[in-house]
Amino acid sequence: VDARNRVVRDAGVRPEEQPEAPPALRTNIDLDLQRYAHQYFGDSLRGAVVALEPTTGAVLALYSAPSYDINKFIGGASSSFVESLRLDPHRPQFNRAISGTYAPASTWKLATAIMGLERGLVTMETRMPQPCTGGYYYGRVFKCWDKRGHGDVTLAQAIAKSCDVYFYQLGLKIGLSNLLAGGISLGFADKTQIDLPSERKPTWFANTTYFDRKYGARGWNRSVLLSLSIGQADNAQTPVSMARFYTALATDGSAATPQIVSREPERKQILNLDKTQLAGIQLALADVVSRGTAAGAQIQGLTIAGKTGTAQVNGQLDNAWFVGYAPANDPRIVVAIIIEEGLHGSTAARVATKLMERYLKARLTMTAIVND
């Protein structure tokens, strides 16, 4: 029979043709971590997890929820089962990890920060002209997520506290054309080239042509630039795209191509920062978890760096994001997680840090066994 169980020969096996095994196919998937992701999402949550080894891009886990039992397709799935999957409003056959596109929200603020640093517009200690009082007036009031305000903060503090008002002003300093060009150079308009079919290209525009057409030449809506600066508006990224970006933040500024199948790693330098600037970004990301918006997701004995995100969606509850890595001083794993309608990024952070803890503890246990 062939792969679809169709009979191709009735006369029995030809004795002169012996079966030949194909070359071994080795994946980078950590089965325990993959199962742990499934356990955490259960039957009620929708979203995705992508876990990468930051230096190689090895895909340690790639999970999309809700999932389904693929074993039911062995030998041919029943038509009723296939139809139930097709009609399910939660789309279990849709791979959210590589094809789901979402506003990245505050996980994107690191991109805005990097553009400002690369252009010499700010340092990690720069403060903006207007302190955060809970909103920023630019034709109308653009709110900060914290209505109490964050006060007069530096860039490092703005990352840790996720201050929208700071990044509104930084976006204005950068300008729309430069912001769009910066997104291109950081890889946000391209597929990651993960070795899986059906990866969807993120939504990011190369120049102002789209905005000229939408709002009239040079008549861009004032909210466009400010919203893009904080990861909203016309920006939609896949979880695997955000994970790839954070492999650069976790290492030396070079992003790793995600790889399901074990092979020679591929890396590309995307950050044009000196060592001091990159160290400042990494320290700010560690502050997010130690005393910032993800402080509730700390794991005892493990220093974690990352960024929360709470993405607004028209007509739905907010999506929850977290992208980060651990250990902060010697990264071994990058995790990007989105929980649809998860309300706040801290929710995603708690799941992500548990995944990191699980993977790292398993590695320590395995190392101890090997050494014994």
Helix, strand and coil percent figures for the chain, each rounded to 5:
40, 15, 45
Picking from 54, 248, 223, 72, the residue whose alpha carbon sits closest to that of residue 141 is 223
What does each C-alpha distance from 312 to 53, 96, 159 come to in angstroms? Answer: 29, 18, 19
| Contact by Cβ (8 Å): 354, 70 | no
Class of the 31-75+96-371 domain? alpha beta
What is the amino acid identity at position 201? K
Within the chain, how many helices (H) and strands (E) appear?
12, 9
DSSP state of 348: H
Distance (Å, whole) CA 276 – CA 356: 27
Strand, helix or coil for residue 308: strand
Domain ranges for the chain, please list them: 31-75+96-371
| pLDDT for residue 221 | 73
Task: Please provide the distance, in angstroms rounded to a whole number, between the alpha carbons at the two ends of the chain.
Answer: 47
CB 161 within 8 A of CB 293: yes
pLDDT of residue 98: 98
Which stretches of the chain score pLDDT less than 50? 370
Residues 281-299: b if buried by 16+ CB within 10 A, e if exposed: bbbbbbbbbbebbbeebbb
pLDDT the model gives residue 369: 53
